[in-house]
Amino acid sequence: MAIGGESTGMALETQAGDLVEIDFLNPSETRLFREGRLLEVTGQFETVRGVEIPVREVFFVKSARSL
């Protein structure tokens, strides 16, 4: 998790070691998001525009389940 004005505050680490900023469309699924837990997520990337970070990609999670 991260604190900041232009961040969702959550990111997933991919198997390749990359960090992907995520946003849950269903807020109740954020309970699945815990350090070290493996998740399978579906959704899509969207371009988000801001002031401090002019353009960034965020993965909007439509569904998630623990593995």
Question: Tens place of pLDDT for every residue, the chain, 67 residues?
Answer: 555 567 777 888 888 999 899 999 998 888 888 888 888 999 999 999 988 888 989 999 999 999 8
**Is 3 inside any structural domain?**
no
Number of independent structural domains in the chain: 1
**Is 36 inside any structural domain?**
yes
Structural domain span for residue 39: 11-66
Cα of 40 vs its chain's centroid, Å: 12
* Sign of the four-CA dihedral 32, 36, 39, 45: positive
Q: What is the pTM of this model?
A: 0.77
**Is 6 inside any structural domain?**
no
Q: Write down the pLDDT at residue 34.
A: 87
In 3-state terms the chain splits into helix, strand, coil percentages (rounded to 5) of: 10, 50, 45
**Is 2 inside any structural domain?**
no
**Is 52 inside any structural domain?**
yes
**Is 4 inside any structural domain?**
no
